[in-house]
Structure 1
Amino acid sequence: MKNSIKNLLRAGVFMLAAVFAFAFTKPIDTNQTVWGNDPDEGPVPVQMGSTQYECLSNPTAQCLFEDENLSIPIQGSNGIFRLK
């Protein structure tokens, strides 16, 4: 009896964690206009996931932002922004 209650409790905690994981994340629209900081032109609007730009490998640099002021970084877009 004790083991079944523990298993149910573990399953409940796991389900709650899964619900929170989806509740507090925001999907990114791949057609959304995002901003990159070009060294020559400054803030540049590009389409997310397009071939207009590339993020060169650099885990400490931020490549894409949600706004023109470059104050809201897009999670998971690490690298150095470069127009193609």
Structure 2
Amino acid sequence: MNTLIKRLPLFAFVLAAVFAFAFTKPTADANIQKFAMIDGAPFNITGQILNEDYTCDDAPTSVCTFEELNGVRVPNSETSGIYVPL
């Protein structure tokens, strides 16, 4: 019982460290860039918001926007359509 009481501060420290990592949101979103396909070439539109800065008209066979993380396209991030700035 005495050793348990002596180790209680260490247990509290380890528990606090675990909670610090468990409830912290990663900041990988800062590295994600958003691109629009304009005349077949990618154009950086990071920071623009759908239906406020641009829309994607219906065109199921073309890519309107996609996202890249450190130069690699993010899977399932493509939006179909034609990019139209507002």
Point out the structure with max Rg over C-alpha: 2
TM-score over 0.5 (shorter chain): no
TM bucket by the smaller chain?
A: 0.3 to 0.5
